[in-house]
A and B are shown apart, each in its own frame.
Chain A
Amino acid sequence: MKIIVCIKQVPDAKDVRLDPETNTLAREGVQSIMNPYDQHALEEAVRLKEQLGGEVTVLSMGPPQAVDVLRQAISCGADHGVLVSDRAFAGADTWATSYTLAKAVHKIGDFDLILCGKQAIDGDTAQVGPGLAIQLDIPFVTCVQKVREASGTELVMERMMDDGYDVVAVSCPALLTVVKDLNEPRVPSLKGKMKAKKAEFKILSAEDIGADSSCIGLPGSPTQVVDVFPPPPRGERAILTGSIEEQIEQLVEKLAVYL
């Protein structure tokens, strides 16, 4: 089975805090990490490869330093990594990102399955997976929480819904987006780390993937961010005082409107 996993490099949430003085995201020394959901997508891909044979290619769009997450993916069992990187991609919304990734997938060639995270923890939209499937004209299933059966040609899985889950079947090629419940990602093995150290990555520009310049980056994006501002501040916090009984009394009073 030929599997492509889409991986985004994101700032670590621990470090992304709004500076109350300047109202900007303090990003100094911020660590970049592999998007947490993508770790689960990668793990599932590697398990499917171990079960059914085949290979796993990881794909990322981002600045040159995004090769770090590809390298990490190799250490966790991926076979190849491809980075699409070009200043012309800057400002891409989810439409332009899906278009760019689709072009890169065509460049990579044949595949049976594409795995994405449910959403990236920075942009938070959960739109790239479905968008990529539409661009590639393949079926997709979002929020997969369990793969029940997998053969080289068909998958049966559970997709998380708001009120439970649906059991669905799909033939390959298909695209899945995954949630955290799917699996427990492995830690890199020593052998994996050695392999990652030596790994070389294909870096593709907009021209290399044959992208139409009006479909990438800001010009290719139907949405545009026109304003960025801090969320409304929360009111003053209040730690209640008094004996436990008194505190509970006060709390129930404060919450009366909800009871």
Chain B
Amino acid sequence: MLIVDSELCIGCGVCEDNCAFGAIEVVDGCAVVSDACTLCGSCVDSCEVEALKIEGGEKSVQVDLDSWKGVWVYCEFRAGALAPVSLELLGAGRKLADARGVPLSAVLIGADTGESAEKLIGHGADTVYRIDNQALTYFTDESYGAVLTDLIKAHKPEIVLAGATAIGRSFIPGVANSLGAGLTADCTQLDIRADDGALLQTRPAFGGNIMATIVCPSSRPQMSTVRPKVMQALDFDEARQGEIVDVAPDPASLQTKVRVLESVISEQDNVNIQESDILVAGGRGLDSEKGFKLIRELAASMDGAVAASRAVVDAGWIGYPHQVGQTGKTVAPKLYIACGISGAIQHVAGMQSSETIVAINRDEDAPIFDVADFGIVGDMFEILPLLISKIEGKRGS
């Protein structure tokens, strides 16, 4: 609980200005805390007269932190392929492991993984724990969760990273919960704190409106899911040496209550918009399903994928997996082109971390222009065909 010492408080209001959550207010010359307080501690640090403190802060059950060593990356493998984020995380994990002076290990779970383990070594892993078993052909939270939990218990790594993908965001929370470990969601930055070697995990929250840095001071492992496309993979190096350790899963962990009856891979579009470098997004301004074809054409001309606002998904012009925003997906491609999208806050929440944003809209006051790096004010039906032919011309030459 955040305690205000009314004797010490001078009612200066510095804490009020420092609180990102508007949870502290000076009333009659003394700070008062409301229920919106998240106990983040910003105000405690800001108070010059030390009138604020957080009580009951330490978790009472501490684990022996020094007995946990090494950095692990869960490397997602589905439908015969490694997820690109796995290699990105080996790049990030390598840096963390070197900073800590510990080895980097990869965990590969699936069936018929072929040469994947060698690939993981070439991209930075010192050790690959490979659990290749026909019963793991399909992802289930229970089997993948049990296998990873058992391995973590046996080897006690200090850090475990996984991609913030549909699979990672589904079973990693279960693993963390059963280990009693802290888990930070959707990280975009990872660093080692100099004083104590703790993992500093930075992530956006409140739809990207604030960034928070999170630590797990007294529990291990420190776990994070990390957004695709933010970390850098190392180039493949054939000469890199590593060890592949085949692990037989405990038969009990392959028994699941959830049964996968069928796995449907969408063939129609590239639906995994979170892994795409270029996204072309269309909004209600396209007017009709037919109009929306222009978006597909523009995307095709640049080898990008198609995204959409909720209005378009609700109208049925494209499926929900393509929806960007607060109730859709959060994306951060290198290039996001928003066409006929007004830029409602719920849409912007899902795309504002894109590297470059282009907006095309006939309304010069549309809020989408506030987040755009380049904007064109005009009629899409005139602009898009010209843009497509221009791009095709440029790429063709």
Same complex origin of A and B: yes
Roughly how many angstroms separate A36 CA and B328 CA in the complex, as a whole number? 11
The stretch of A42-50, A158-166, A195-203 that contacts the partner chain: A158-166
A181 at the interface (CB under 8 A from B): yes
A190 at the interface (CB under 8 A from B): no
The residue of chain A having its C-beta at the shortest distance from the C-beta of B138 within the complex is A166
- Measured between beta carbons, the chain A residues less than 8 angstroms from B21 are 24-25, 27, 228
B386 at the interface (CB under 8 A from A): yes
Partner of B386, one of A27, A231, A235, A244: A244
Is the pair B373, A237 in contact by a Cβ cutoff of 8 Å? Answer: yes
The residue of chain A having its C-beta at the shortest distance from the C-beta of B274 within the complex is A162
Roughly how many angstroms separate A22 CA and B210 CA in the complex, as a whole number? 13
Is the pair A134, B178 in contact by a Cβ cutoff of 8 Å? Answer: yes
- Measured between beta carbons, the chain A residues less than 8 angstroms from B370 are 237
- Measured between beta carbons, the chain B residues less than 8 angstroms from A143 are 166, 170
Roughly how many angstroms separate A166 CA and B375 CA in the complex, as a whole number? 39
The residue of chain A having its C-beta at the shortest distance from the C-beta of B321 within the complex is A160
A147 at the interface (CB under 8 A from B): no
Contact with B along A137-153 (1 / 0, CB 8 A): 00111110100000000
- Residues in B333-387 with C-beta less than 8 Å from chain A: 334-335, 345-346, 349, 352-353, 356-358, 364, 369-378, 382-383, 386-387
Beyond A95-B182, A248-B386, 12 additional contacts (C-beta under 8 Å) are A25-B210, A127-B177, A127-B185, A129-B173, A131-B176, A134-B178, A142-B169, A163-B271, A164-B266, A167-B263, A169-B258, A258-B356
Contact with B along A111-149 (1 / 0, CB 8 A): 000000000011111110111011100011111010000
Roughly how many angstroms separate A248 CA and B391 CA in the complex, as a whole number? 10
Roughly how many angstroms separate A157 CA and B208 CA in the complex, as a whole number? 31
Interface of A is mostly: mixed
- Measured between beta carbons, the chain A residues less than 8 angstroms from B181 are 222
Roughly how many angstroms separate A22 CA and B370 CA in the complex, as a whole number? 19
Roughly how many angstroms separate A27 CA and B323 CA in the complex, as a whole number? 27
Is the pair B214, A225 in contact by a Cβ cutoff of 8 Å? Answer: yes
Roughly how many angstroms separate A41 CA and B274 CA in the complex, as a whole number? 25
Roughly how many angstroms separate A244 CA and B382 CA in the complex, as a whole number? 8
Partner of B204, one of A124, A164, A219, A252: A124
Interface of B is mostly: mixed
Query: Which 6 pairs show the lowest CB-CB distances between chains A and B?
Result: A222-B182, A91-B39, A63-B35, A27-B22, A223-B182, A125-B185
The stretch of A9-17, A51-59, A75-83 that contacts the partner chain: A9-17
- Measured between beta carbons, the chain B residues less than 8 angstroms from A221 are 59, 182
Please give the residue numbers on chain B whose beta carbons come within 8 Å of chain A beta carbons, in ascending order: 1-2, 17-22, 35-42, 54, 56-61, 78-79, 138-142, 165-167, 169-171, 173-174, 176-178, 180-186, 200, 204-219, 256-266, 271-272, 274-275, 277-278, 302, 320-321, 323, 326-328, 334-335, 345-346, 349, 352-353, 356-358, 364, 369-378, 382-383, 386-387, 390-391, 394-395
Is the pair A225, B213 in contact by a Cβ cutoff of 8 Å? Answer: yes
Give the A interface residue count (CB, 8 A): 98
- Residues in A84-125 with C-beta less than 8 Å from chain B: 87-88, 90-91, 93-95, 98, 121-125
The residue of chain B having its C-beta at the shortest distance from the C-beta of A18 within the complex is B209
Partner of B259, one of A168, A218, A248: A168
Is the pair A258, B372 in contact by a Cβ cutoff of 8 Å? Answer: no
- Residues in A209-259 with C-beta less than 8 Å from chain B: 214, 217-231, 234-235, 237-240, 244-245, 247-249, 251-252, 254-256, 258-259
Q: List 8 A-B contacts (CB under 8 A).
A: A62-B35, A139-B141, A164-B264, A180-B323, A222-B219, A231-B352, A240-B376, A244-B378
Partner of B184, one of A133, A139, A223: A223
Is the pair A122, B378 in contact by a Cβ cutoff of 8 Å? Answer: no
Roughly how many angstroms separate A224 CA and B391 CA in the complex, as a whole number? 48
Is the pair A248, B182 in contact by a Cβ cutoff of 8 Å? Answer: no
Is the pair B263, A164 in contact by a Cβ cutoff of 8 Å? Answer: yes
Contact with B along A22-33 (1 / 0, CB 8 A): 111111101000
Is the pair B214, A224 in contact by a Cβ cutoff of 8 Å? Answer: yes
Is the pair A237, B204 in contact by a Cβ cutoff of 8 Å? Answer: no
